[in-house]
Amino acid sequence: MRIIYTSVFVDDQDKALRFYTEKLGFAKKRDIDAGEYRWLTVVSPEDPDGTELVLEPNNNPAASTFQRALVEQGIPATSFGVSDVQAEYERLQALGVTFTMEPTEVMPNVVIAVLDDTCGNLIQIQQTPFDEAR
């Protein structure tokens, strides 16, 4: 068994697609008309056949309530691995990305930072020694 899709709720699919591709550097994988919305996914360009992130509309009241509650509590909706959090932080800041937490070592050799995806979510980027073994 493997993970093929995971979702993040977004308040605007077009805005989310721009942010996740132009700022974070993901590649659009699927964009399929599904009536009022789209089945819209992005992937890491380093693993184009890997897990797809679904940019899921938050039009469900439960989803939007959950999304707001996470942000109010400062809890990231998901986490992305990077090899160097400080370098990624600087790259994204230069692109105008807002961070709610600067790079911080939270335990030995584990560094995280938290950014605002402009679509209703906080996203954590993390650098961990066990990610390097993949």
CATH of residue 57's domain is 3.10.180.10
Confidence of residue 36 (pLDDT cuts 50, 70, 90): confident
The residue range of the domain holding 76 is 5-133
48-92 confidence digits (pLDDT tens): 999 999 999 999 899 999 999 999 999 999 999 999 999 999 999
Q: Domain count for the chain, please give it.
A: 1
| Higher pLDDT, residue 133 or 59 | 59
pTM of the model: 0.92
- The rounded mean pLDDT for the chain is 94
Q: What pairs with residue 112 in β-bridges? A: 104, 126
- The pair of structure tokens assigned to 89 is 């932080």
Of the candidates 114, 110, 104, 118, the one whose C-alpha atom is nearest the C-alpha of residue 73 is 114
The mean-pLDDT minimum among 23-32, 108-117, 123-132 falls in 123-132
